[in-house]
C-alpha cells in the first residue's frame, strides 16, 4: 500500500500526549514484552548515565532506576508534553537529583555534551517522527553516546507474519487518514536507520502478540 506521509509535528505530538497522559501506560501486551526485552538486553546494570528521549509518564525510567541501574547512575529524561513531564517528575521524585526530567522544545537536537551518556533510550517515539527527524535524532544519539555506549530502541513495526502485516497495513491506512487516531505513530523499521559504520547491532528482534509487532534494537556505538 502506498502511504501518503502524514507525520505529526511536535506541536501535534504535544497536544496528543497531553491528552493521553497516564493512559499511555495502558499498553498492549506486545509493547510490554518489548519493554521487558529492552530492560534486560540494554545492560543497564553497567550503565552510568542514561538519556531517554520521549519518556512519557516516566514509568519505565522508574523501573530501570528501581531494578536495574547502579545506585550512582544518572538519568536524564526528555519529553515535549508538559503533562508527561509532570507525571514523569512525580514518578522519578524518589531518585532526587540524579534523575532529572526536562521539558523539551520539540527539537531532535539533544541538549547534552558529546559523549556524556552511555545509554540512549527511546521507546515508541521513532515511530512518530518523520524520517528526517529520525535520522537527525540518531546522529544526535551517536554524538551523545561515548564509544561502547548502547542505543536501546523499541517501536511499532510491520512484523513478519501475515496477520501482523495485515494489521500494519490497516494501521498505516488509519494513520494516512488521520495520524491522531493512532497517536501519531505508524509501523517503522528501526534497524534500517542504524548505519553499520557507526553502530554494531547487538540485538534485533521482533516481538509479536495478537498480530501487533514491535521491533527492539540494541546497538553499540562504534
Ligand atoms: C508513544 S509515547 C511513548 C512514551 C514512552 N517512551 C513509553 O514508551 O511509554 C511518545 C512520547 O514521545 C513524546 N514526544 C513526541 N515527540 C517528541 C519530541 N519531538 N521531543 C520529545 N518528546 C517527544 C510524547 O510527548 C510522548 O510522551
Buried-exposed string 39-66: b where 16+ CB fall within 10 A, e elsewhere: eebbebeebebbbbbbbbbbbbbbbbbe
Residue 4 belongs to a domain: no
Domain membership flag for residue 104: yes
pLDDT of 181 reads: 86
Confirm whether 214 is domain-assigned. Answer: yes
Residue 2 is assigned to a structural domain of this protein: no
Q: What is the pLDDT of residues 163-190, one digit of tens each?
A: 999 999 999 899 999 888 888 899 999 9
Q: What is the pLDDT of residue 183?
A: 83
Count of the separate structural domains present in the chain: 1
Name which residue sits closest to atom 27 of ligand 1, judged by CA: 56
Q: Which residue has the cell 550503565?
A: 47
Q: Write out pLDDT tens, residues 123-178.
A: 999 999 999 999 999 999 999 999 999 999 999 999 888 999 999 999 989 999 98
On average, the pLDDT of the chain sits at: 95
Which domain does 184 fall in, by range? 10-221
| Mutational test site, ligand 1, from 10, 13, 140, 155, max ligand atoms within 8 Å of CB | 13
pLDDT digits (tens, 9 = 90+) for 23-71: 999 999 999 999 999 999 999 999 999 999 999 999 999 999 999 999 9
Evaluate whether residue 206 is within a structural domain: yes
Atom of ligand 1 nearest to the CA of 8: 16
Q: Per the domain annotation, does 1 fall within a domain?
A: no
* pLDDT > 70 in the chain, percent: 98
54 falls within a domain: yes
pLDDT at 129: 96
d(CA 128, CA 40) in angstroms, rounded, equals 25
Q: Looking at ligand 1, which atom is closest to the CA of residue 127?
A: 1
pLDDT attached to residue 1: 54
104 lines ligand 1 (CB under 6 A): yes
Pocket test for ligand 1, best of 27, 79, 92, 131 (most atoms within 8 A of CB): 79
Q: What is the CATH number of the domain that holds 174?
A: 3.40.50.150
Amino acid at each position: 500500500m502506498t502511504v501518503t506521509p502524514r507525520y505529526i509535528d511536535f506541536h501535534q505530538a504535544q497536544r496528543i500526549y497531553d491528552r493521553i497522559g497516564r493512559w499511555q501506560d495502558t499498553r498492549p501486551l506486545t509493547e510490554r514484552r518489548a519493554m521487558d526485552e529492552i530492560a534486560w538486553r540494554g545492560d543497564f546494570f553497567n550503565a552510568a548515565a542514561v538519556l531517554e528521549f520521549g519518556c512519557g509518564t516516566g514509568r519505565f525510567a522508574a523501573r530501570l532506576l528501581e531494578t536495574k541501574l547502579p545506585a550512582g547512575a544518572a538519568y536524564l529524561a526528555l519529553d515535549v508534553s508538559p503533562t508527561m513531564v509532570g507525571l514523569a517528575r512525580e514518578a522519578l521524585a524518589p531518585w532526587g537529583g540524579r534523575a532529572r526530567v526536562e521539558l523539551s522544545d520539540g527539537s531532535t537536537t539533544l541538549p547534552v555534551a558529546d559523549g556524556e551518556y552511555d545509554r540512549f533510550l527511546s521507546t515508541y517515539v521513532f515511530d512518530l517522527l518523520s524520517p528526517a527527524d529520525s535520522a537527525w535524532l540518531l546522529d544526535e544519539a551517536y554524538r551523545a553516546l561515548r564509544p561502547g555506549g548502547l542505543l536501546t530502541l523499541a517501536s511499532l513495526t510491520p512484523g513478519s507474519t501475515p496477520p501482523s502485516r495485515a494489521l500494519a497495513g490497516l494501521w498505516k491506512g488509519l494513520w494516512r487518514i488521520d495520524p491522531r487516531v493512532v497517536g501519531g505513530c505508524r509501523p517503522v523499521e528501526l534497524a534500517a536507520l542504524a548505519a553499520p559504520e557507526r553502530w554494531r547491532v547487538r540485538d534485533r528482534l521482533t516481538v509479536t502478540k495478537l498480530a501487533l509487532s514491535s521491533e527492539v534494537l540494541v546497538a553499540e556505538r562504534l
